[in-house]
A and B are shown apart, each in its own frame.
Chain A
Amino acid sequence: MQLSDIERDAVAEIANIAIGRAADSLRKIVGHEILMSVPSVDVMTREKAAAALAKPGTRTFIAVSQSFQGPFSGRALLIFPEASSLALVRAILGREMSLEDVADIEDEALAETGNIILNSFVATMANVFKRALTMSLPSVMRGDSRQLFEAPAVADDLVLLLYINFEISQKEIRGYLALVMDLPSLETLRALVNDFLASLSAEDQEHGGTRS
C-alpha cells in the first residue's frame, strides 16, 4: 500500500503540528529551545523500514514505544540510533553530566521525552480526525532495527515511517517516528486523512481563501 503525495503531505503536516506542540512542552520542561521537523513520510513494510533505518555504523537503536487504540490501533515508536541517544539526553537536559549519570537516567529521560512527543503526535491526530485514541504508558526498548518492528506484530503489519530531525544547542540529531499498524488500521487512517483533506477543501470553499 502506498500513500499518495497529498496524503503523505497531510500526514507530514499533522506530524509537524504535533511535534511543534511537543517541542513547546519540552521547552517548558527543560527551559531551552528544541527544534524538530519532519521532512518526509513513507509507508513501507516492516522489513523495508528496518532496512531503511540500518545504516553503516548504526546497528543498534533505542526506541520509546507506546501502543494506541481507537479507530486505528498499533504502536507508535520514537527511534534513535543508540549512539545519538546520550547526546540527545544531554542536549535535552541542557546540562553537562558525567557519562555514568547520563547513562543512569537515559532510559527514563528518553521515556518521558518520547512520551511527550508520541502523546502529542497521537493527540494531534485524534484532534484533527476528531476521533478518540487512547495511549498506553511508554516503554523503552533497545535492539537492531528489525527487533524494533517485530513483536508484538502480525505478519502483514506496515510501518508509517516519519523522519524526524532534532536540533538542540546547534546539534542535529536524526531520529524516526514510526507507527506500526496492520493494514485495516492503516486503511482507516488513510480514510481519515482523506476526510480531513476533504474537510479542508470544503473549508476553503466556505471561506473562499487558501490555507496558508
Chain B
Amino acid sequence: MAARVPDTHPIAGGVLDAVDVGIIVVDSSRRIVLWNEWMERVTGTAANAALGRTIADVFSGLKTDRLVQSVSEALDFGNSGFLSHTLHPALLPLCGSDGRPLLHNIRVKPLARADGPCCVVQIDDITGMIRREAVLRDRQNARYQAVVDSALDAIVTTDESGVIQWMNTAAERQFGVTPEDAVGQGIGLLLANPDAWPSGPAHDRAARHITQTSGRRKDGTLFHLEAAASRWTGNGCGFVTGILRDITERRLAAEALERVNAELAELNRNLERKVAERTRETEEALKKLFASQKMDAVGQLTGGLAHDFNNLLAAILSNLDLLRKRLPDDPKFRRLLDGAIHGAERGASLTGRLLAFARRQELKPKAVDVSELLDGMTELLQRSLGASVEIRTDVAPGLPAVHIDSNQVELALLNLAVNARDAMPFGGALVISAVADTFVDAVPAADLARGDYVRISVTDTGVGMDETILAKAREPFFTTKGPGKGTGLGLSMVQGLAIQSGGALRIRSKAGEGTTVDLWLPKSDAEAQPETTIARRAAPSRRHFSVLLVDDDALVRMGTVDMLEDLGHTVTEAGSAAEALTILQAGAQVDVVITDQAMPGMRGTELASQLRDKYPALPVVLATGYAELPNGEGPGLPRLSKPFRQEDIAAILDRMPPRDDATAKVIALRRNG
C-alpha cells in the first residue's frame, strides 16, 4: 500500500498531533514508534515515556489481550482489526478532560513501509457520540416513554419466541417484577398460561389477539387479566406487544352483578309466586266471603221466613188441638184432624231445621259427656242405618265434657249417619270417633276460635265427593239425593248447630275415597250431669191462673188464648208490650205474664225487664222461636218454644210458684204502684 501523503510532506508531522483521535504506531518488533499528543492527553503518559515500549508494557494489567492480538495479526497476516467498546467495556484506561473514563473504539491496520511492516492503532473517542445518541434517543422517546409509563395497563413486549424484551412501569407495578428480573425470561413469568400469548411462528398466530387469562405476580398470586396482544416487526425481527389489563375488579363487579341479578330474578320469581299466592288467597277469601255472605243472606231470609211460618204453625196447631177436643168423637173427623195436625207438625219440624241452619234454633246447652252421648245413640244408629253398615265408635278415654244441647247434637249425628249410609249404597263402615283437640295457634277451620274442643268425626267408606260437590255441600237446599229424597238441609243444619254451639264443622272428602265430617264442640267449663228425666208432660194443671198474654200477632194470640182457657185459665190479651204495661198499671189481677219475644216497639225481654223492676214477684214466660236473644237478655226466664202445643203451656204453668205467693207479691206491687 503506497502512502498517498509522503512522509516528507512539510506539514505531515503537525497533523498527527492536531487530529482529535489517538494514534499509536507499532513497528514489526511490537515497539511503539509513534504516540501522538491526543494519547498523551488521555493517558497522562508523555510520548517520550511511551516510545520504544510495547503496548502491553505501557498499559500493564489490561483485562484483554485482544488489542495485542490484533496488532500481531496486523503485523503477521495483514489483518485489520476492529475493537468495539460494546464487546470490551474498558479496552484501555483512558480519561477524558472531565476526568471521566473515555468510551472508545480501536481500529488496528497494517501499514506496509519501506523499512518493514508496521501497524497503526487508531483510537476514537466515542463518548460524546454515545452521550449524544443517548440524549437524542431520550428526547425522541420522551413522549413515547411518558405515554407508556403513565399508562395504567401493563405493556409488555416479547420477541417471537415469547422472551420478554421490555415492560413499562405499570407492568412492574402490576406484576411486582423489575425489568431487570423480567427481561430475558419467558412470558410464562407473567402469565399462568403462556399459550395465551401469541408468540411462536408467525403463520400459526393471528396478528391481533385478545384473550382473558390469568396473570401471575412475583409472589405467585394469580389475577384476572385481559391481554390484547399484537405482532409487529422491527429490525427484521418479530415482536409481540401486549397490553395486559388487570380485570380482577371488573370480573368481581361482573360476578357481583350476576349474583345480584340472579338474586333479583329469584326475588322477582318469589314476588310473582307470592303475588300469585296472595291473589289465589284473596280469591279464595273472596269466594269464602261470598259463600259466607250468601249463607248469611240465605240464613236471614230462611230465619225470618221460618219465624213467621212458626207463628202460623203455632196458630194452626193450637186451633187444631182445641178443635180435636170440641169435635164429636167421629173417626172420620179424627182422621182428617190427625192428618192436619201431622202436616202442621211436619211443617214445625221443617221450620225447626231451617232455624237450626240459620243458627236461630232454641238451644238448651249444658255440660254433656260425649262418650255417654255416643253410647246412648249406638242402638238408634244401628236401627236407622240397617245391617249393611257396620258401625264402630272410637272414643278417646278421659274426654272433657262439652257445652252443647245434647238433643240437637244427637239429631245432627243421626243426620250425618244417614248421609253416610246414603253414600254407601252397597254397605260399608261408619266410624264415629271422638278426641280432644286444643288449638293454641292455628285452627283447622276458619270459624273456629282458639280453645279446647272435643272433635267428633263421622267417617264413611262411601263414594265421597269431588271438589265441586264438596264446595257446595254445606249450602242449604243443596242435595245430591234424588228429588223428594232429601231436603238439602242436613249438613247446613249440622253446620249451623256447630257454629251456634261455638264449634265448627269440617268436611273432608275425595271422590271414591269416602267422607269424614269433623264436628268440633266446645269444652264445657262444668262437669257433665247425669241426664235427669223430667216429666215432659205434667199432669193436667189443677191450678188456675189469671194470665196476661202479650203477642202482636192476633192469630197466634187467639190460638193461645183458646188453649189457656181450655186449660181453665183466665186470659187478658195485650197486642203489645206497652198495652200490657197499661193493663198492669190499671191494676189488673195477673198471676203470670206470657209474652212473645219478637214484637214491634218493645220486645218481650224488654217487657220482662221492666216487669222485674216494677213487679219483682210477677213471673214472666217468654214465648219465642228465636234463640238469638241478645246477650244477657231474659236469662232465667221460663221459655215456650214456638210453635208450642197446649201440653207445653200446661207444663210450664205447672212449674209456676204457688198462687198465694204470687198473689201476695202482686198485692205488694200494687202497694208500690
A99 B81 Cβ-Cβ under 8 A: no
Of all chain A residues, the one with the shortest Cβ separation from B137 is A100
- The chain A residues found within 8 Å of chain B, CB to CB, are 25, 28-30, 57-62, 66, 70, 81-83, 85-87, 92-93, 96-100, 103-106, 108-109, 111-113, 115, 119, 122-123, 126-127, 132-138
19 additional A-B residue pairs with CB within 8 Å, beyond A98-B179, A134-B79: A25-B66, A29-B87, A82-B235, A82-B236, A83-B235, A83-B237, A85-B237, A96-B184, A98-B165, A99-B157, A99-B166, A104-B133, A106-B235, A112-B84, A119-B73, A132-B78, A135-B78, A135-B79, A137-B80
* Closest chain B CB from A166 CB (angstroms): 16
Tell whether, in the assembled complex, residue A112 and residue B87 are in contact, meaning their CB atoms are under 8 Å apart: yes
Could you write out 5 A-B pairs with CB less than 8 Å apart? Answer: A28-B64, A29-B64, A83-B238, A87-B237, A112-B84
Those of B120-152 within 8 Å (CB) of chain A: 133, 137, 141
> Size class of B's contact patch?
35 or more
Q: What residues of B have a CB within 8 angstroms of the CB of A100 in the complex? A: 137, 141
Q: Are B79 and A122 interface neighbours, CB within 8 A?
A: yes
Tell me the dominant secondary structure on chain A's binding face.
helix
State the 6 A-B residue pairs at the shortest beta-carbon distance, nearest first: A82-B236, A96-B184, A134-B78, A105-B86, A108-B84, A123-B77
User: How distant is A114 from chain B, measured CB to nearest CB, in Å?
Assistant: 9
A82 touches B237 (CB 8 A): yes
Cβ contacts under 8 Å, A138 to chain B: 80, 82
Identify the interface centre among B105, B165, B179, B238: most chain A CB within 10 Å of its CB.
B165
CA distance A106 to B65 in the complex (A): 23
Whole-angstrom distance between the Cβ of A138 and the nearest chain B Cβ: 5
Q: Is the CB of B73 within 8 A of A86?
A: no
Please tell me which one of the listed residues A25, A87, A132, A133 contacts residue B69 in the complex, with CB atoms under 8 A apart.
A25
| Residues of chain B lying within 8 A (CB to CB) of residue A66 | 80
Q: How far is the CB of A91 from chain B (nearest CB, A)?
A: 11
How far in angstroms is the closest Cβ of chain B from A58?
8
B85: interface (CB < 8 Å): yes
Contact A113 B73 (CB under 8 A): no
Q: Are B79 and A123 in contact (CB under 8 A)?
A: yes
Bound: A29/B184 CA distance, A? 21
Question: Which of chain B's residues has its CB closest to A124's CB?
Answer: B77
- Bound form: Cα–Cα A96–B65 in Å: 25
The answer to whether B82 and A126 touch across the interface, beta carbons within 8 angstroms, is: no
Closest chain B residue to A59 by CB distance? B236
User: Which residue of B65, B87, B236 contacts A83 across the interface (Cβ within 8 Å)?
Assistant: B236
**Once the chains bind, are A112 and B73 in contact (CB under 8 Å)?**
no
Residues of A within 8 A of B312 (CB): none
Q: Which of B28-85 contact A (CB under 8 A)?
A: 64-66, 69, 73, 77-85
Residue B109, interface by CB 8 Å: yes
Within B1-42, the residues touching A (CB, 8 Å) are 1
> When the two chains form their complex, are residues A112 and B79 in contact, meaning their CB atoms are under 8 A apart?
no
CB within 8 Å of A: which of B435-477? none
Q: Are A109 and B84 in contact (CB under 8 A)?
A: yes
Evaluate whether A86 and B235 lie within 8 angstroms (CB atoms) in the complex, with A28-B66, A115-B81, A115-B82 already known.
yes
Q: Does B208 make an interface contact (CB < 8 A)?
A: no
B202 at the interface (CB under 8 A from A): yes
Partner pick for B86 among A85, A112, A115, CB 8 A cutoff:
A112
Question: Once the chains are docked, how many angstroms separate the CA of A82 from the CA of B107?
Answer: 25
Residues from chain A with a CB closer than 8 A to the CB of B69 are 25
C-alpha gap A112/B133 in the complex (Å): 20
B651 within 8 A of A: no
B481 in the interface (beta carbon within 8 A): no
| Mask: chain B, 147-175; 1 = CB below 8 Å from A; 0 = not | 00000000001011000011000000000
Question: Are B73 and A123 within 8 A (Cβ)?
Answer: yes
What CA separation (Å) do A86 and B158 show in the bound complex?
Answer: 13
Specify which of B64, B77, B133, B237 is in contact with A132 (CB 8 Å cutoff): B77
- Shortest CB distance B548–A (Å): 130
Q: Please indicate the chain B residues that have their CB under 8 angstroms from the CB of A70 in the complex.
A: 78
In the docked arrangement, what's the CA distance between A60 and B88, Å? 28
- Contact at A111–B236, with CB atoms within 8 Å? no
| A84–B330 alpha-carbon span in the complex (Å) | 146
B85 to chain A: closest residue by CB: A108
| CB closest chain-B residue, reference A61 | B236
Q: Does B192 contact A (CB under 8 A)?
A: no
Say if the beta carbon of B90 comes within 8 Å of chain A: no
User: From A99, which residue of chain B is reached at the shortest CB distance?
Assistant: B165
Contact B84 A119 (CB under 8 A): no
Q: What is the distance, in angstroms, from B408's C-beta to the closest C-beta of chain A?
A: 108
Please, which residues of chain A bring their CB within 8 A of the CB of B137? 100, 104
Q: Nearest Cβ in chain A — how far from B406, in angstroms? A: 109
Task: Select from chain B the residue with minimum beta-carbon distance to A60.
Answer: B236
Say yes or no for B583: interface residue by CB 8 A criterion.
no
Q: What B residues does A113 contact at CB under 8 A?
A: 87
> Does B222 interact with chain A (Cβ within 8 Å)?
no
Chain B residues in 8 Å Cβ range of A58: 236
